[in-house]
Amino acid sequence: MPDPVAQVEGARRMIKDRNTVWHHATVSRSRREEKNRHRSVVLWFTGLSGAGKSTLAHAVEAELYRFDCRTLVLDGDNIRHGLCSDLGFSIHDRSENIRRIGEVAKLFIEAGVIAMAAFISPLRADRERARSLFPHGDFIEIYCQASLEVCERRDVKDMYRRARAGEIKEFTGISSPYEAPENPELVVNTGGSPLSDCVGQIVDFLRQRNILPLEMR
C-alpha cells in the first residue's frame, strides 16, 4: 500500500519542478518585526491530550497581548474544523496534519507574528520536520509535561474513558504512541504548576532570547 506521506512529499517535489519560484515580499519579515517591536517565532506546544497545551498557549497570548505583541494561537481542534477537516487520526493523517501546521506557522513567521501551535504532535519525526522549516532559533518547542494519570483525571471531554472502552481508536497515550521531546527548548510542568507560573516561565524565556520588546525586559 502506498505511503500517503510519501505521496504528499512526491507531489510537492513535482510542483517545485514546474518552475515554481518563491516570491519574496516587498515588505520583509524584518520590516514587520521592526514595526511590531518584537521578533516573530513559533512556540510549539506539545504534550498529551489534557496536558494543558491550548490553555497555556491562550494564557501566554493574553499576557503578550497586554504588551501589544502580534500573536495568533493555532489550536488543534480549531484547525481540524477547516484546514485539516479532511484528515483522520491515523499516524499518516497526524503526520500530514502537523506538516500543514508547520507550513501555516511559517507564513505567520514571515508576517512578523508570534505563532503559538498547540498540538499533541505525538511523533518526534513530525515535530523535527516542522522545525526544519525554520531558521535556527525560530522554532521553540515547549513540552507541556503532565502524566497520563493527571491528564485522565482532567479528561473534560471524556476522551480517555471512551478510548479505554474502545470507542475511540488510535488515541494518543492509550492506543497510539506519544514520543516525548528529548531536547525541547523548554519543559513546563503543566501537570503540577499553577497556570500563572507556567506563563511566567515562558515569558521569562522569551525575554532571555530577546524576542520580546524592550518594555517587557
Q: Which of 121, 132, 175, 193 is catalytic?
A: 121
Name the pairing type of β-strands 114-118 and 139-144.
Answer: unpaired
Does 121 participate in catalysis according to the annotation?
A: yes
DSSP 33-93: HHHHTS---EEEEE--TTSSHHHHHHHHHHHHHTTT--EEEEEHHHHTTTTTTT--SSHHH
Which amino acid belongs to residue 58? Answer: H
Backbone phi, psi, residue 192, to 5°: -135, -20
d(Cα 11, Cα 3) in Å, to the nearest integer? 12
* Active site positions, annotated: 121
